[in-house]
Amino acid sequence: MSTKLRQVALVSSTIDSSPIGATTPSTGAFTGLTGSINIPAETPPIGPSAAIVGTGADVALFTFPALNAGRLQASKGLVIKFVTQHTTGTASVSYKLKFGATAVDTFSIIPFNTTFLDVHTYHFFNNSGVQNAQNWIREGIINNASANQPATSSAGTAAIDMTASQVVTFTFNVANTDQVKPVFALLYLIQ
């Protein structure tokens, strides 16, 4: 399996079927490439921004541009990385990974301090032959309960219709006594 960070659309080309040595290629070889390179909107990383005050309801920390309908093919997947910092307060924060309005994963963290980072990486894959059933795993390091930043992991299934356009968001929910800073996020396709 290979990681594809960018997808190139071949607009036009030239095929040269001239003999090479004593052999004439049966399929030819590309000798020229013209046209544009189309870079999918879902691949740019999201950098840091100011801490966000909690509201007691779900608030988006990161929102990626919509994945186009059919963009995630059967048996293919994506990797999503989120880095956050609980900069103010000590209340438990609930985080959610959402595709559209559907929460795929929900978990909570009670921070040890306001300086350590929470780092979460999701591997999200369509099941074999379908685009509406997935398996996923989350792994990470969290600012939780002790100075050693323990590892965390979770796994599950989802039923997201990837034949439809999907907006991926990562939200948090905490009282207005606390703040969470979006530090970094990245989404890339595994094709």
Per-residue pLDDT, 176: 97
State yes or no: pLDDT of 7 exceeds 90: no
List pLDDT tens digits, range 92-134: 999 999 999 999 999 999 999 999 999 999 999 999 999 999 9
Cα–Cα distance for residue pair 172/167, rounded to 1 Å: 16
State yes or no: pLDDT of 178 exceeds 80: yes
Q: Residue 18's pLDDT band (boundaries 50, 70, 90)?
A: low
Per-residue pLDDT, 10: 46
User: pTM, whole model, 2 decimals?
Assistant: 0.78
Per-residue pLDDT, 36: 54
SS3 3: strand
Cα–Cα distance for residue pair 47/57, rounded to 1 Å: 23
State yes or no: pLDDT of 41 exceeds 60: no
State yes or no: pLDDT of 158 exceeds 70: yes
Cα–Cα distance for residue pair 19/25, rounded to 1 Å: 7
Lowest mean pLDDT among 6-10, 144-148, 150-154: 6-10
Average pLDDT rounded to a whole number, residues 82-93: 96
Spatial neighbors of 65 by CB under 8 A, at least 6 apart, are 41, 42, 167
Structural domains of the chain in order of their starting residue, each with its CATH number: 3-34 (no CATH), 52-190 (2.60.120)
Name the token pair of 150.
């323990």
Average pLDDT rounded to a whole number, residues 174-179: 98
Cα–Cα distance for residue pair 140/155, rounded to 1 Å: 12
